[in-house]
Structure 1
Amino acid sequence: MRLARKDAWLIVVLLLPLFSMAVIPFYDTSEPRYAEIARVMARSGDWITPWFSPDLPFWGKPPLSFWAQALSMKAFGINEFAARFPSWLCWLLSNALLFAGARSLYGRRVALLAATVYSTGTLVYIGSGAVLTDPFLAFGTTLSLVSFAIAVKDRKPVFAGAGEPQEKFAGASGAPGSWWWRYGFFAGLAIGLLAKGPLAVVIGMAPVLVWHMCNHKTSALATALPWATGLALTAVLSLPWYILAELKTPGFLDYFIVGEHWLRFLDPGWSGDLYGTAHRQPYGMIWLYWLMASFPWGVLMLALLMGSLRSSRLRSALRATSSRPLSGYWLAGALFTPIFFTFAANILWTYLFPAMAGFSILVAIFLDRMDGLPGFSRRMQLTIAGIVPVALLGLSVIAWVSPDLYLRSTERGLVRYVMQQGEPVSSLHYYGKPPFSARFYSAGQAREMTQGKLRQATASCAPFYLAIPKDQQKAVAETLGRPLDPLYVNKRYVLVRISTGGADLRQGCLKGLP
């Protein structure tokens, strides 16, 4: 199979998420929560403090992703595609960085393989069309990872996995150690600081320290990059926002640094989360998440590693991979994140985003060495690469046809039903707190209705719509003193219209209920 055909395949893979981004609704909770924060930022013009609710600042994440999503909404409107588009751009840029780095170090074929592996892994492919902060972190850490590798590619000797000097770097394109890559490392740290926080610096520096220790050259690290001016660049790009955020909403730094970066991971039952609940998992769960995140390539590599116990050809390919320049560096980039979170109590699988870049380059080098071996053709590689994109395309079609029936919880259909009745969406109330997707699709106008408010509203206010949790229907019917007449039903809620004796009253009375 010629490289031109593989180019075309990769282009198709990179464009496929655009369909999913446009047709899949937001499902609670992460996507609509972040999208609503960005929507409020775009509407309010407050570019310093993201807001979780009108009276609660969002201290959980820095604002880079919200800035991008808010700007996208200003350009494309308040919709799913606009909120997801910045993550897709980060995906493209991360792929471009991997391609440029791998081509410079190992040649065009390895570069194409690296981009293919990165693009078609489960976590990265899903994240490419999702409203998350992690694609921005991954872009920053990938920029740092690749920049350092290219900046030191002309240095000899290099660590090649076994701690011994090996072959020179091959296929160099562009000036070795050019100023762009030398400062790109520090720009990546700044992006990570504004996307996720200080953790980005830890993740970005870990492979560099491994490279330094394995080279056994005290002076090598000091001269590899312009540390003084580079760190100054990182500070200039990132620190102003941290200072302004603390000045605007005092207490931010204490919550963000101590709570989000220490207690969240070390305290299994951390109760200080202001915005939800901690994601408590068994220790070591990150490795199961790694299998999910890296699928299908992680499973393939584990199978080949097991096969190498019996196959001399596989052992030869593994030795050849470990002998390539910077293989130990890429391995550190691939393994540091899961190792770091092995003993963390509160984790999500999205934490593995930064590990996928180094993993992809290692897999690409190995696949290149496997080229020509019986039973492992390029057609087979492309078939493996197609598993996740084809599966996600099928799910996207299902979501397009019937989003409420087959997939997880979303309030898009319910909110749209109310809007189609010709009444203001402010007439929509939820019995209990509105889900984040309801807040986003109603532009923040869906409101909470408690039992006490419901009694008062039925006695004094104009008719309104009430979304009732399915397990609360009996209690609401008893409060109203009459049976419910459902108008719309989704996976979680039953929508009814509450007619009252005060139909001539202004709808605003609902807002004034205690």
Structure 2
Amino acid sequence: MTEPRTPLAWLPFLFTRVLFPGTAEADTRVRVSALLVVLLLPAALLYPTRGFYLLEPDEGRYAQIPREMLASGDWVVPTLQGEAYLDKPPLMYWLVALSYRVFGVSPDAARLVPAVCVHLTILAVYLLGRRSVGERPAFWAALLLSVAPGFVAVARLLLLDGLLVLCVTLSVIAGFEAVRTGRLKLGWWLGSAAASGLGFLTKGPISEILLFVPLWAFGLLTTGRLMAVVKPRHYALFAAVVVAVNLPWYVAIYQREPAFLKHFFWEHNVQRFLQPFDHLQPVWYYVPILVGGLLPGTVLFAVYLRNLLTGGPDAAALRSPAGGFWLLAGGWCVLFFSVSGSKLPTYVLPAYPFLCLALGEFVARTRWHAARSTRAGVVVMAGLLLGVIHVGLPWYAEQRSPFGRPDLVARFVTEPGTVVSFPRNCDSLAFYAGRADFDRVRTKDANQLIVDCHHRERTVILFTHRDALAGFRNTLPPSLEIAEAVSLRRGTGVGLVDKLIGSTPWGLCDVAVVVPRRGDADGGQ
């Protein structure tokens, strides 16, 4: 083995001769038994019992926006409580609205969209991933992904991340297929561009960022060049497809809401990455999330990394460059979101399929695929997930939802009149009440709210912080009075269950009806 003579030449040498010198499994034929497992196991985890109460704040918001979209017939400008909501592009809203149209407006129909997206992601890992690493490694990747609690749990919730992970996974798999043989496959390249464009229409340019960096790194580590097979005209073609997918809506939204471009691209992409927004966390934030979220694969991943760093030539011969690419792609996702100024547990979701593909190759080609501990871990985790997802999560939602006492809450929010959320939104109540006119107070200062109450005969205030009602009482002038107030907390005593799951309903703690005192309805400000 000839050693490289230049520093740059050491990169391909280390990657292709030391770390990943093997060849991928040649057998890529789909096994019917494996396909049935990948179809049925995720289906059992993802589709039943989706109708539990919406979680605040995200699920309430993402259920309400498509409901308003369907009711208004306006598919261009997303609205929340009748006002333009410009934080995200509309693809998720469109899909949920279509689900409402087919199945009716309900949490069950809303959550069908992320469930289908995550199921399709698992199928893509098996059916498309087998082309690069072989059928058995792809099956193990899909199996481990199906029982990864941090991945499957997100599919049970109405979040954008389920749709985004499907777009990113398809884009990266297709992009890698387009270049991995050293000769560009245009069909795969265009497919990657289309999936990337849909990712852009879901959450902005993150799909392109997660695609190109690992592709460029793989080219540098295998040939010493940044994807030499891709010429400028191919990049232009890729960009043209992404633009074609996105341009109609972006032009339409700009014509009606010119502030969208600055608000979304600058404030919700650039600034969120460069500086803390509202989710400040340490740089190692995703380490414990992945350790727990990848179980039982976490244990196998530790063995895989030890094998990668200390294994001999025989162990290295079982590691292919394709497996190395999937490790790069997953590692890049984790690194990118770790250095981001804003972090949430779901942001790292696109890393799961790629890490599982790298891990699947290791498991399938070593003794670990036959180990009792491996198979027992998969079975035990599947059983635990079935219990947690279909029993624990609905019970938790019922305990914590404001609509755990539906007759009480509905009495306030379904009657005609002004309903105000303070100091945060509680959109799930609007969703269940079929309303789109809840007022929002965009500050924790209650002064403007007090002024507005003087001009209304009756104001229902949804207090969305545990101390908000007490603070409001202290600032209430003599010209206003609280005609009725109801606490939605579980009680004064705090038991073990309350300590574990919390004693305050999501997003809503108290409800109060505020009216002007008689004789002060026209003044007293």
Q: How high is the TM-score relative to the length of structure 2?
A: 0.75
Please name the residue that 2:15 is paired with: none
Residue 4 (structure 2) pairs with residue 13 (structure 1): no
Contact 2:418 2:458 in 1 (8 A): no
Secondary structure of the corresponding residue to residue 230 of structure 2 = helix
Please name the residue that 2:402 is paired with: 411
Q: For 2:267, which of 256, 259, 264 is the aligned residue?
A: 259
Deviation at 1:83, TM superposition (A): 1.0
More relative contact order in 1 or in 2 (CA 8 Å, sep 6+)? 2
Please name the residue that 1:208 is paired with: 215
CA separation of 1:245/1:447 partners in 2, compared to 1, >3 Å: closer, same or farther?
closer
Alignment of 1:52-451 (within 5 A): 52-55=80-83, 57-155=84-182, 180-214=187-221, 215-216=223-224, 220-222=228-230, 226-268=234-276, 270=277, 278-306=278-306, 318-322=315-319, 324-371=320-367, 377=370, 379-395=372-388, 396-401=390-395, 403-405=397-399, 409-419=400-410, 424-426=414-416, 429=419, 432=422, 433-444=424-435, 447=438
Contact 2:80 2:436 in 1 (8 A): no
Q: How many residues align?
A: 461
Deviation at 1:347, TM superposition (A): 1.0
Q: Which amino acid aligns with 1:394?
A: G
Q: Which amino acid aligns with 1:436?
A: D
CA separation of 1:300/1:460 partners in 2, compared to 1, >3 Å: closer, same or farther?
same
What CA RMSD, in Å, does the superposition of the two structures yield over aligned residues? 3.9
Please name the residue that 2:26 is paired with: none
Secondary structure of the corresponding residue to residue 80 of structure 2 = strand
Supply the distance in 2 between the matched residues of 1:265 and 1:230 (Cα, whole angstroms).
25
Supply the distance in 1 between the matched residues of 2:171 and 2:516 (Cα, whole angstroms).
65
Percent of aligned pairs with the same residue?
22
Deviation at 1:365, TM superposition (A): 0.2
Supply the distance in 2 between the matched residues of 1:121 and 1:105 (Cα, whole angstroms).
22
Alignment of 1:442-461 (within 5 A): 442-444=433-435, 447=438, 452=450, 460=457
Q: Which amino acid aligns with 1:297?
A: G
Deviation at 1:71, TM superposition (A): 1.0
Supply the distance in 1 between the matched residues of 2:482 and 2:122 (Cα, whole angstroms).
60
Per-residue deviation, residues 97-132 of structure 1 (Å, max 9, x unmatched): 211223223332222112112222223211222211
Task: Judge which range, 430-439 or 93-102, deviates more.
Answer: 430-439
Secondary structure of the corresponding residue to residue 360 of structure 2 = helix
Per-residue deviation, residues 4-27 of structure 1 (Å, max 9, x unmatched): 665554434211234555243211
Please name the residue that 2:28 is paired with: none
Q: Which amino acid aligns with 1:31?
A: E
Task: Judge which range, 217-226 or 89-98, deviates more.
Answer: 217-226
Please name the residue that 2:10 is paired with: none
Q: Which amino acid aligns with 2:116?
A: L
Secondary structure of the corresponding residue to residue 89 of structure 2 = coil
Please name the residue that 1:273 is paired with: none
Contact 2:133 2:322 in 1 (8 A): no
Please name the residue that 2:11 is paired with: none
Q: How high is the TM-score relative to the length of structure 1?
A: 0.76
Contact 1:281 1:346 in 2 (8 A): yes
CA separation of 1:299/1:346 partners in 2, compared to 1, >3 Å: closer, same or farther?
farther
Supply the distance in 2 between the matched residues of 1:133 and 1:402 (Cα, whole angstroms).
22
Per-residue deviation, residues 421-459 of structure 1 (Å, max 9, x unmatched): 6994557956735523223222336846977489769x9
Contact 1:438 1:446 in 2 (8 A): no
Deviation at 1:80, TM superposition (A): 1.2
Contact 2:174 2:188 in 1 (8 A): yes
Alignment of 1:15-34 (within 5 A): 15-19=43-47, 21-34=49-62
Secondary structure of the corresponding residue to residue 291 of structure 1 = helix
Please name the residue that 1:506 is paired with: none
Unaligned runs of 5+ in 2: 1-30, 491-502
Residue 65 (structure 2) pairs with residue 37 (structure 1): yes
Per-residue deviation, residues 252-311 of structure 1 (Å, max 9, x unmatched): 11121111121112223x4xxxxxxx111123323333334433323431255347888x
Supply the distance in 1 between the matched residues of 2:344 and 2:95 (Cα, whole angstroms).
23
Supply the distance in 2 between the matched residues of 1:65 and 1:241 (Cα, whole angstroms).
13
Task: Judge which range, 216-225 or 140-149, deviates more.
Answer: 216-225
Deviation at 1:68, TM superposition (A): 0.6
